[in-house]
């Protein structure tokens, strides 16, 4: 088989890239290790920046997002037992974010891909990348006991943190930066109305908590747990009790509980691999960088990467110009590092760290008080939360 771009991974990065390339008349095949149901079973964050909304519209998959997504013009910060609103809209000249689950984004992209009759190879085994240091790269995989080869012009490595793409780059060509946080997020999805109509990020003596949602009838909640914690140790009741104990009295009173639809623990990590291009192999999304989920930047960074990548491919095929490809890595990484900084800062401000003790919490509270009391500090936060501009 031959295609212009072989995309490894059918997560949000790979699928969005596939749609954007298709709109630009560029042929691509997506090669995914798992089944469609497995991919759709992963519950991840759900806050879209305007840049992501615009790219989903450009890809022709924004219809359901606009109909069902919930625009949010503010968030709440809870500390010392009281909530304080950050007016995202008022502080950023009218910008907002859209609450719409990553699972739904993935579903919309999968459906659009199927409707357009585009090729996705699911359950591809032993994917390997070849010759991306030359002009005729290849991807090989096995399926139903047979080995297949796809010849292409480019390989897009959209296969996440544990994928084969970054692992195929010679170690000497790669610089990596990593920080693992000493805790995780225990998350629960439940068909109960959200405790508040805006997201609540809570700093408490018992650790961080987040109240989020998927719709008016479906909530997504998280509590910080030690990194070695096991999900089996948490009954639904134990989770609801812990969450309630981290809320202010009014929210604790309003909290509606119910059976969990999904319950899992996610580790928190900051990670960046540089550069993001190696000859004809281009990394995008979680394959190149991970942020802790505080601030929900993971999906948005992935979308911005593939936005730049699709544009660079268009310049290559349309104008025979490689200059956008040459700039791809630098352009992405400038945005990536700013989101890494924001996610690290917001994590550091809201979580309970095992080593910092009582003075750590006092310092966090002082910074939170300054943040909600200073228009300059609130504006800096709001600008980052709604998403930085998509630079040229
Ligand atoms: N071969 C083929 N596919 C692979 C391989 C492989 N060796 N390894 C991984 N994959 C697939 C995974 O099964 C997954 O479907 O690549 C896909 C990568 O998807 P994600 O991990 O969702 O990464 P990405 O598309 O970059 O999405 C970024 O999703 O992971 C969240 O927090 C992240 O929100 C961010 C966004
Ligand atoms: C979520 O809804 O899952 C979510 C929202 C905001 C975050 C992280 C996760 O910062």
CATH number at residue 106: 3.50.50.60
What are 328-363's pLDDT values in tens digits? 999 999 999 999 999 999 999 999 999 998 999 999
Residue with tokens 């290559």: 316
Catalytic residue among 141, 222, 308, 385: 385
Q: Kindly state the helix (H) or strand (E) to which residue 27 belongs, with its residue range.
A: none
Residues 6+ apart with CB under 8 A from 101: 43, 44, 46, 214, 220
Q: Kindly state the helix (H) or strand (E) to which residue 61 belongs, with its residue range.
A: none
The answer to the question of residue 282 being in a domain is: yes
Q: How far is the CA of 191 from the centre of ligand 2 (A)?
A: 16
Question: ∠ CA(205), CA(346), CA(191), 5° rounding?
Answer: 75
Q: Kindly state the helix (H) or strand (E) to which residue 378 belongs, with its residue range.
A: helix 375-386
Strands 120-121 and 70-72 come out as: unpaired
Q: How far is the CA of 102 from the centre of ligand 1 (A)?
A: 12
Confidence of residue 115 (pLDDT cuts 50, 70, 90): very high
Ligand 1 within 6 A of CB of 39: yes
Ligand nearest to the CA of 264: 2
179 classed as catalytic: no
The answer to the question of residue 143 being in a domain is: yes
Cα–Cα distance measured from residue 30 to residue 9, given in angstroms and rounded to the nearest whole number: 7
Q: 123's torsion region: left (phi>0), alpha (psi -120 to 50) or beta? A: left
Residues 6+ apart with CB under 8 A from 67: none
Q: Which of 161, 49, 51, 48 is nearest to 104 (CA)?
A: 48
Q: Whose CA is nearest to atom 6 of ligand 2?
A: 296
Ligand 1 within 6 A of CB of 34: yes
The answer to the question of residue 254 being in a domain is: no
* Residue 278 or 391, more confident: 278
Query: Does pLDDT of 42 surpass 90?
Result: no
The answer to the question of residue 221 being in a domain is: no
Query: Does pLDDT of 44 surpass 90?
Result: no
The answer to the question of residue 281 being in a domain is: yes
177 classed as catalytic: no
State phi, psi for 32 to the nearest 5 degrees.
Answer: -125, 140
Residues 6+ apart with CB under 8 A from 352: 183, 204, 205, 206, 207, 208, 224, 360, 361
Ligand 2 within 6 A of CB of 294: yes
The answer to the question of residue 313 being in a domain is: yes
Query: Does pLDDT of 388 surpass 80?
Result: yes
Q: How confident is the model at residue 1, as a pLDDT?
A: 94
DSSP bridge pairs for 146: 143
Domain assignment of residue 53, given as a range: 5-69+101-178+269-350
What are 60-106's pLDDT values in tens digits? 999 999 999 999 999 999 999 999 999 999 999 999 999 999 999 99
For the segment 102-121, the average pLDDT, to the nearest whole number, is: 96
Is this structure's pTM higher than 0.95?
yes
Q: How far is the CA of 296 from the centre of ligand 2 (A)?
A: 5
The answer to the question of residue 232 being in a domain is: no
Q: 196's torsion region: left (phi>0), alpha (psi -120 to 50) or beta? A: beta
Catalytic residue among 297, 328, 351, 352: 297
Q: Confirm if 6 and 129 have CB atoms less than 8 A apart.
A: no
The answer to the question of residue 229 being in a domain is: no
**Counted domains in the chain:** 1
């Amino acid at each position: 088989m031959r295609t212009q771009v072989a995309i490894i991974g059918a997560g949000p990065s790979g699928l969005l890239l596939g749609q954007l390339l298709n709109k630009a008349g560029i042929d691509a095949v997506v090669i995914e290790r798992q089944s469609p149901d497995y991919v759709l079973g992963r519950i991840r964050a759900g806050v879209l920046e305007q840049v992501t909304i615009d790219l989903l519209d450009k890809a022709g998959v924004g219809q359901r997002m606009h109909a069902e997504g919930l625009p949010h013009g503010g968030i709440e910060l809870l500390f010392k037992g009281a909530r304080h609103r950050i007016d995202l809209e008022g502080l950023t000249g009218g910008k907002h974010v859209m609450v719409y689950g990553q699972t739904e984004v993935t579903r919309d992209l999968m459906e659009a891909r199927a409707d357009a009759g585009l090729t996705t190879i699911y359950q591809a085994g032993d994917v390997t990348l070849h010759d991306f240091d030359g002009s005729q790269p290849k991807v090989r995989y096995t399926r139903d006991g047979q080995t297949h080869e796809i010849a292409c012009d480019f390989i897009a490595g959209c296969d996440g943190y544990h994928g084969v793409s970054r692992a195929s780059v010679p170690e000497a060509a790669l610089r990596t930066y990593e920080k693992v946080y000493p805790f995780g997020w225990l998350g629960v999805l439940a068909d109960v109305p959200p405790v508040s109509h805006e997201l609540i990020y809570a700093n408490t003596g018992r650790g961080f908590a987040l109240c989020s949602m998927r719709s008016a009838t479906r909530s997504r909640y998280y509590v910080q747990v030690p990194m070695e914690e096991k999900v089996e140790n948490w009954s639904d009741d134990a989770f609801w009790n812990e969450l309630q104990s981290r809320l202010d009295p009014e929210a604790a009173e309003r909290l509606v509980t119910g059976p969990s639809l999904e319950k899992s623990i996610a580790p928190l990590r900051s990670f960046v691999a540089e550069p993001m291009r190696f000859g004809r192999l281009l990394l995008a999304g979680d394959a190149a960088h991970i942020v802790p989920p505080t601030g929900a930047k993971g999906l948005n960074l992935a979308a911005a990467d593939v936005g730049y990548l699709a544009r660079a491919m268009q310049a290559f095929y349309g104008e025979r110009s490689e200059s956008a490809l040459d700039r791809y890595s630098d352009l992405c990484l400038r945005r990536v590092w700013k989101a890494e900084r924001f996610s690290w800062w917001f994590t550091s401000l809201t979580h309970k760290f095992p080593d910092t003790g009582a003075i750590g919490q006092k310092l966090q509270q002082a910074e939170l008080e300054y943040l909600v009391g200073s228009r300059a500090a609130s504006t800096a936060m709001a600008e980052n939360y709604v998403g930085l501009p998509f630079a040229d």
